A and B are shown apart, each in its own frame.
Chain A
C-alpha cells in the first residue's frame, strides 16, 4: 500500500495544478456548481472543454492515436483530484467522454476509432445516449425501437426517452432491436447515429427543475449506414453493458470530484448562514451532518482508489466499484437536503429573488439531485446488481 506518487506522476500533478490555476475562468461559478451543466452554461462549457483538450487534460487514458494521452488511471485520478481542488467547471460532453469514446475504442473498427473519439474529447461533437424507452427503463433489454435492413442501410423506427443532451447532441449511442425473434438480450444492435439524419425528431422534456435538459427522441424511417454499427449486428447488449461499465468507472472519478467541490461550497455557504444566532458551522447538529458528508466523500475517493489499484494490476473492478454509484447518489442527495436545511426558510427562495442564497443556485441543484437515484440505473437496479453479481444472490 503506497499513496506516494512517482516523480513523473508528481510532475504531472504540478503541471495540471499550474495549468488549472492559470486557465480556470474566475467567473464561471455564476453558472452554478452542480454536476449537471445548465443550458445557459453550454457555450462556455463547450469552449472550456476545447481548452482542456488542447492542453491534453482530457481523455488522458485514451490511446494517443485516438486523441488521448496514453497515460494510466493514476494520472486520470490525479487530474480529477486537482480539478476538485481548483473547483474546475464540469464537462459538457460527459456522455461522450465517459461512455461513447471508451466503448468505441473497445469495440470500434479502425475507421471508427479514427473518426469519433478525438472529436468527442475536443467537444466538436456532443453525444447522447439512446437507451431508455417509454417501456424499457430499468428493464432495458425490453426495448422496442426497431432497425430493419434495407440494402447497405438499417431503417430505424421507434422512440427513446429521458435522453439527456439530445437537443444539442451531434451523435447518439443508439440501441435498437435488429432480431425480433431472438431472446430479448440477443437481438439488439448498437448504432452510432448522426442526429442530423432525416427522420430524427427531438422534443425537449421539461423536468421538475423547470429546465429542459433531457428529451424524447423519435425515429421515423431513419436510415443508418451499416458502417455505423458498433461491435457487430445483434451484439448490442454486450457493447451497451461495456458502456455502462465505463460509466460506472467514470463515476468513480468525475462524480467524486463534483461531490467534493459541492461539499466545499456547502461548507462555505454554511459559514455564511446563521443558525440560532451563530454560524451554521458552529451548530453542533450541523457540524455532525457536515462532518459525515465530508467522511462519506473521502470514503468515495478511497473506494475509487481501490478500484484503480485493481485496474492497474489488470484485475476486474471488485465489490468496491459497484458500491460507488449508490454511495455517490445517497451522499449527494443528502448533501443537497442539508443545503436546504442550513438555509432554513431561505431555502424557499429561488432564482430571481433578491434575498435568495447564492442567487438560488442551490435550489436548482437540490431539485436536480432527485434524478440521481433514477438516471444511469435506478438505486433499486444497482442494488439488484450488487446482490446478484457481487454477492451471488439468486435472481427474483
Chain B
C-alpha cells in the first residue's frame, strides 16, 4: 500500500510549479481575464511543448500516456495559479469524450491535434435547465440525408468561443439515458452561434451555444447512436476528479498566502497569526485542505484503477472539495481584512474560482445525494 506520489510525480510537480511561476503570473492571469479569449497562442504552445495537452491520452494518439494520479499533480499546480484558458475544457471534456467514445480514426484525428496544440475541443452538454441528468438533454439530433440535423440551446459551455469543435450531447432516441448520442461539431458549421457570457469568475469563460438546424455527416457521430450517456458519465466522473485536484491546489495556495500574511501583518504590536482568533481559523483551513486532498487523491487512484468504488469516490471528493474550497477562500479574505477585499489582491481570483468550480458538475448538495444513493441509503 502506498498513498503518496512517486518520484516522477514529484518531479512533475516541481517542473509545473516552476513553469507556472514564470509563465502564469498574476499579471498574465489578469490580462487574460480582461480579454475575451482567456489564453494566448504562445502560452498554449508552451503547454503543448511540455506534453501537458495530451497528458492522459495514450501514446498512439500523441499523448503522454499518463494517468489521473499524474494529472492530479498537474491540476493542483494549475489551481495554485488560477490558470485561465481552455486547458480543462479541451483535455478533460472535449478530448476525453472523443477518447472515451470515438473510433480509432476519430481519436487519431482529434487527440493528436489536441496534444500538439493545434485543436481545441469543448463539450456542449448542459442546457438552460442546468440539470446534470439525462433528462436535461433536450437538444435533438434528427437523422437526415445520411447524417443528422442538430437543434437546441446549450448553456454553460466552457471556452466554446475559442474551440475548433464541440462535442455536442444530443437526444436521438427516447427520453432517458438510452436515447443520447454524441457528435463532433465544428464551431464554424452553419447554424452554430456562440455567445460569450460575462462570468463572475473571469478566468473561466462560459458560452451559450445555439444550434439551429446544424447539419452534420454520419461520421460526426462518436460511438454508437443512442449510446452516448455511458461514455459521457465516465468523462464527467473523471473530469470531476481532475477539477477537485485543481480546487485542492487553489485552496492550498489560499492557505499559504494567508499563513504568510498572518506572520508579517502586525496589529496591536504583534503578528496577527499569534492571536488565536486568527490561528484557529488558519488551523480550520488546513483541516479542510488536507481532507479535500485525501478524498481527491483516493478518487484519482480509483478512476485510474477503475475500481467499482470510483463513482462513489468521485462524488465524495467533489462534495467535500466544493465546500472546502469555498470556505477556505472565504476565510482567506476574512483573515486578510480590507486588503483581501481589494481588486488588487489575488484572493478574489481564488474566491471566484471556488464559486465557479463549486457549481461545475454538481455542488456539494448534489454529490451528497449521489453518495446517499451509492451507499444505498
Point out residues on A near B: beta carbons under 8 Å. 1-5, 9, 74, 77, 267, 281-282, 284, 287-288, 290-292, 294-296, 298-300, 302-303, 305-306, 308-310, 312-313, 319-320, 322-323, 326-327, 380, 382-384, 386-388, 390-396
Known: A291-B371, A396-B275. 10 other contacts (CB 8 A): A1-B2, A284-B369, A287-B372, A292-B319, A327-B291, A380-B276, A386-B287, A387-B273, A393-B282, A394-B271
Interface size of B by Cβ–Cβ distance < 8 Å? 45
CB neighbours (8 Å) of A390 from chain B are 283, 286
12 A–B contacts, CB within 8 A, in A order: A1-B4, A2-B1, A3-B301, A281-B372, A290-B372, A295-B371, A302-B297, A303-B290, A383-B276, A387-B282, A393-B259, A393-B273
Count A-B pairs with CB separation below 8 Å.
162
CB neighbours (8 Å) of A5 from chain B are 1
CB neighbours (8 Å) of A395 from chain B are 274
Q: Which B283-301 residues have a C-beta within 8 angstroms of A?
A: 283-284, 286-287, 290-291, 293-295, 297-298, 300-301
Q: Which B83-115 residues have a C-beta within 8 angstroms of A?
A: none
Q: In the complex the two chains form, what is the Cα distance from A279 to B320 in whole Å? A: 26
- Known contacts: A1-B5, A303-B291, A396-B274. The answer to whether A295 contacts B320 by CB under 8 A is yes
Question: Which of A291, A380, A388 has the most chain B CB atoms inside 10 A of its CB?
Answer: A291
Q: How far is the CB of A384 from chain B (nearest CB, A)?
A: 6
CB neighbours (8 Å) of A74 from chain B are 1
Can you name the residue of chain B whose Cβ is closest to the Cβ of A320?
A: B290
A299 contacts which of B3, B320, B375 (Cβ < 8 Å)? B320
A386 touches B1 (CB 8 A): no
- Among all A-B residue pairs, the 8 with the closest Cβ atoms: A387-B279, A393-B273, A302-B294, A386-B283, A383-B283, A291-B368, A291-B371, A383-B280
- Known contacts: A3-B301, A323-B290, A323-B291. The answer to whether A267 contacts B377 by CB under 8 A is yes
Q: In the complex the two chains form, what is the Cα distance from A312 to B275 in whole Å? A: 36
Q: How far is the CB of B342 from chain A (nearest CB, A)?
A: 23
A387 contacts which of B4, B280, B290, B316 (Cβ < 8 Å)? B280
Q: In the complex the two chains form, what is the Cα distance from A71 to B320 in whole Å? A: 34
B287 contacts which of A292, A327, A388 (Cβ < 8 Å)? A327
Q: In the complex the two chains form, what is the Cα distance from A5 to B371 in whole Å? A: 26
A299 touches B377 (CB 8 A): no
CB neighbours (8 Å) of B293 from chain A are 306, 320
- Known contacts: A287-B368, A392-B263, A396-B279. The answer to whether A294 contacts B301 by CB under 8 A is no
B69 within 8 A of A: yes
CB neighbours (8 Å) of A291 from chain B are 319, 368-369, 371-372, 375, 377
Q: In the complex the two chains form, what is the Cα distance from A299 to B293 in whole Å? A: 9
Point out residues on B near A: beta carbons under 8 Å. 1-6, 69, 255, 259, 262-263, 270-271, 273-276, 278-280, 282-284, 286-287, 290-291, 293-295, 297-298, 300-301, 305, 316, 319-320, 365, 368-369, 371-372, 375, 377
A288 contacts which of B4, B274, B365 (Cβ < 8 Å)? B365
CB neighbours (8 Å) of B2 from chain A are 1-2, 309, 312
Can you name the residue of chain B whose Cβ is closest to the Cβ of A5?
A: B1
A384 contacts which of B270, B279, B369 (Cβ < 8 Å)? B279
CB neighbours (8 Å) of B372 from chain A are 281, 287-288, 290-291
Q: In the complex the two chains form, what is the Cα distance from A326 to B368 in whole Å? A: 22
Q: In the complex the two chains form, what is the Cα distance from A2 to B279 in whole Å? A: 35
A306 touches B368 (CB 8 A): no
B297 touches A306 (CB 8 A): yes
Q: In the complex the two chains form, what is the Cα distance from A30 to B269 in whole Å? A: 58
CB neighbours (8 Å) of A387 from chain B are 273, 279-280, 282-283
CB neighbours (8 Å) of B283 from chain A are 326, 382-384, 386-387, 390-391
- Known contacts: A380-B280, A387-B280. The answer to whether A313 contacts B4 by CB under 8 A is yes
